[in-house]
Amino acid sequence: MRQHVMPPLVLDRAGGSSLAAQLYEQLRSALDSGALRPGERMPSSRVLAQHLAVSRIVVTDVYQRLTAEGRLEGQHGSGTFVARQPVPATPVRPQPEGSPEPEVIDLRPGTPWVAGYDQAAWRRAWRAAGDLPPAARPDPYGAPDLRAHLAEHLRRSRAVPVRAEHLMVTRGTGHGLDLLVATVLEPGGRVGVEDPGYAKARNVLAARGARVVPVPVDEYGVITDALPDDLALLYTTPAHQYPLGGRLPPARRRALADWARDTGGLLVEDDYDAEFRYDVAPLPTLFSQAPEHVVLLGTLSKSLSPDLGLGWLIATPALLSRIAARRYELSDRPPGAVQRAVATLMANGDMDRHLHRMRREYARRRAMIVGLLGDRVRGEAAGLHVMVELPGELVDQVVTRAAGHGILLDTIERHYAATPLSGVPPVGSPQSGAPRVGPPPGRSPVSGLSSVSSPPLVSSPPLVSSPPLAGGLPIAGEPRRHGLVIGYGAADLDQIERGCRILRDLIQG
């Protein structure tokens, strides 16, 4: 039986009002303020009467009154409880008939469709997780069986030539990036980030003291001939550029690998969205092409749910061991129960079945958007979002009018780094004063990167907080794009249809 809660009650026997009135007022105020929570067990009338040294009838009268008001509820034979449906503070006015709650249609990116999970499989996984005792010493690389399952999954689904020794379990992409940067980046190291790009990646980098350098992007992805040669790291989303939606073509992938080999910079490949692809052949990961120069980050945030906080980081065993050592120093651990549950989902084949269902569902949603918004849609070959390019002057108007219909939208504008690009010469261009030449022989080609292949790390950068673009120079060259980034994980298919019909009318004016 659950323990009761004893509310703090003080009765003033010399006071003007009766003991019953005082008890009623104090209990009512504790109930209405939330000090006593729905479902909590109240002390029995006998216990409370003894505790307050009052007659039991005083307590039973007050309990009856509060029960009649709906603040308490009696459960036959088991006692008195705080009502599960608390009394509303102000009476709720009934909605006049014919005026239903306005519908909200969330067409913003970044949210997966979670309602389609298999509840039975989910329960099985968590039961299995609960069957094992908690680990006394969590492995900083992650649970071996989960690493093996993830490696096998990536080998089959992404043709990534990866073994468990290359893979560390993380809490997601952002966390993987943070661990990597905490391990390899020296304070003030320059890190290229696609622009427009993933703001959270910029934030993680800036919080570790990196100088974030925006690198321009076009409809294919990151523009490789504009890459500076003094970057310690380059963060990129080649499978489905976030947010413009390009899939990086093979020639640019080769150019990135060459850049990394020539400059010594490390490529951080966010393999986000790679699991969802429509009518196009898979492209190999950068990691498969240049494993010595790439760290690949993956996540279950889109394919399952961000609520799990589970992802992976793939790197050479030497770099991985440095990251594991750093992780240990930071007292950062992968969550054991989550790993065990996910390993069970993978071992049972439930994860594959889930992905299959999700692919089918997302393909329907995407087809609906493309069908309704037609040739304005870009970046629709993969992932869970598309871009709808619009004339700049139309964007605000469409967003505001759509909001009037309950439609929530995101704009491309929001994904650009804060500093405007126009007028700033490219780093390494003749005007910028920075020579665009390779490093002298024998010297580390990039500053800010502590040796990637060397064994254990000696010192690491302190946690420094700075604004995302502190010290970073944007690279000019690509005009800003305007339009909407439409995600199709949050709303259901019917809502997407309604929302896109309204959008189409708003865009056509």
Ligand X SMILES: Cc1ncc(COP(=O)(O)O)c(C=O)c1O
Give the residues lining the site for ligand X (CB under 6 A). 110, 172-174, 198, 237, 242, 270, 272, 299, 301, 306, 311
Cβ nearer to ligand X, comparing 43 with 174: 174
Cβ nearer to ligand X, comparing 179 with 257: 179
Q: State in angstroms the smallest separation of the CB of 252 from ligand X.
A: 18
Helix (H) or strand (E) holding 211: strand 211-218
Q: State in angstroms the smallest separation of the CB of 242 from ligand X.
A: 4
Which residues share a beta bridge with 106?
408
Q: State in angstroms the smallest separation of the CB of 199 from ligand X.
A: 9
Cβ nearer to ligand X, comparing 140 with 311: 311
Q: State in angstroms the smallest separation of the CB of 246 from ligand X.
A: 13
Cβ nearer to ligand X, comparing 301 with 495: 301
| CA-closest candidate to residue 162, choices 176, 172, 147 | 147
Cα–Cα dist 111/187, whole Å: 33
Question: What is the phi-psi region of residue 272: left when phi exceeds 0, alpha when psi lies from -120 to 50, beta otherwise?
Answer: beta
Cβ nearer to ligand X, comparing 183 with 299: 299
Q: Are 481 and 412 in contact (CB under 8 A)?
A: yes
Q: State in angstroms the smallest separation of the CB of 353 from ligand X.
A: 22
Cβ nearer to ligand X, comparing 172 with 209: 172
Cβ nearer to ligand X, comparing 216 with 428: 216
| CA-closest candidate to residue 116, choices 392, 449, 407, 489 | 489
Q: Which long-range contacts (CB under 8 A, 24 or more apart) does 356-365 make?
A: 357/116, 357/118, 358/112, 358/113, 358/116, 358/276, 358/303, 359/275, 359/276, 361/113, 361/116, 361/493, 362/113, 362/276, 362/488, 362/489, 363/278, 364/493, 365/113, 365/488, 365/493, 365/496
Concatenate the DSSP letters of all residues of 27-53 into one string. Answer: HHHHHHHTSS-TTPBPPPHHHHHHHHT
Q: State in angstroms the smallest separation of the CB of 481 from ligand X.
A: 17
Q: State in angstroms the smallest separation of the CB of 487 from ligand X.
A: 9
The first and second tokens of residue 226, run together, are: 């504009």
Cα–Cα dist 1/206, whole Å: 51
Cα–Cα dist 371/369, whole Å: 5
Cβ nearer to ligand X, comparing 236 with 316: 236
Q: State in angstroms the smallest separation of the CB of 468 from ligand X.
A: 15
Q: Are 258 and 250 in contact (CB under 8 A)?
A: no
Amino acid at 276: F
Cβ nearer to ligand X, comparing 173 with 450: 173
Q: Which residues of 310-328 are buried (b: 16+ CB within 10 A; e: fewer)?
A: bbbbbbbeebbbbbbbbbe
Q: State in angstroms the smallest separation of the CB of 198 from ligand X.
A: 4
Could you check whether the bond before residue 196 is cis, i.e. omega within 30 degrees of 0?
yes
Q: State in angstroms the smallest separation of the CB of 196 from ligand X.
A: 11
From start to end of 346-466, where are the E strands? 377-378, 385-389, 407-408, 410-411
Q: Which residues are within 8 A (CB) of 146 and not within 5 positions of it... i.e. 6 or more apart?
A: 169, 339, 340, 342, 343, 346
Residue nearest to ligand X (CB): 172
Q: State in angstroms the smallest separation of the CB of 236 from ligand X.
A: 10
Q: Are 294 and 267 in contact (CB under 8 A)?
A: yes
Cβ nearer to ligand X, comparing 198 with 488: 198
Helix (H/G/I), strand (E/B), else coil: 185:
strand
Cβ nearer to ligand X, comparing 229 with 410: 410
Cβ nearer to ligand X, comparing 174 with 426: 174
Report the 10 Å Cβ neighbour count for 11.
Answer: 16
Q: State in angstroms the smallest separation of the CB of 351 from ligand X.
A: 16
| CA-closest candidate to residue 406, choices 308, 499, 313 | 499
Phi/psi for 180 (5° steps) reads -60, -50
